[in-house]
Amino acid sequence: MEDNIKKGYLQNKNIQDAVLFFILAITLIIYSLVNHYSTAKLEWKLSPYLFPILIAVFIGALSFSLLADGIRQIKLNEKSEKKAAIHWKGVLFTIGISVVYYGTMKFLTFVPSTILFLVAMFLHLGERRIWLIALISVVCSFSIYIIFGVMLHVMLP
């Protein structure tokens, strides 16, 4: 029974966030104090670390507010709104392919890396018409290059 209550507290999202933000607030206060006394060596009124400390105090107070929300939710047995199932595979693939796109732009330049990125994404998102994938990937990449890079003289990655 006690284990279940403990588990309930640990699994409550508001309580998890409250702990995270409380740690963030403490870290920010320590960081600001250390830097103020070691590097800034100024009066507090001029210190670049005055405002961060103020924000940290606010975040600390807000983390207690979140904690109170979480405890209230458990006591009233409120359940957070059910959300649609997350397609983690899709999200992780998109993040992964974006990181690869970011990395390849430096070596392959904008147009080839964009074509490869678009092909991978279209296939991943379920488009199966190869001719359409090829057409849109190439036309879109070159159109963007011409409009931005050539006509508007915008630097492209």
Residues in the chain: 157
Interface residue with other proteins, options 6, 10, 48, 96 (CB under 8 A): 48
Distances (CA, A) of 88 to 11, 13, 92, 132: 20, 19, 6, 27
Cβ-based nearer residue to other proteins, 2 or 81: 81
Cα end-to-end distance, the chain, whole Å: 58
Q: How far is the CB of 139 from other proteins (least distance, A)?
A: 11
Among 5, 95, 130, 146, binds other proteins (CB under 8 A): 95
Q: Is 139 in the site for other proteins (CB under 8 A)?
A: no
> Which structure tokens are listed for 60?
């600390």
CB of 112 to other proteins, least distance (A): 13
Interaction between residue 76 and other proteins (CB under 8 A): no
Asked if 98 and 128 count as a contact pair (C-beta separation under 8 A), the reply is no
According to CB under 8 A, which one of 33, 40, 100, 116 is a site residue for other proteins? Answer: 40
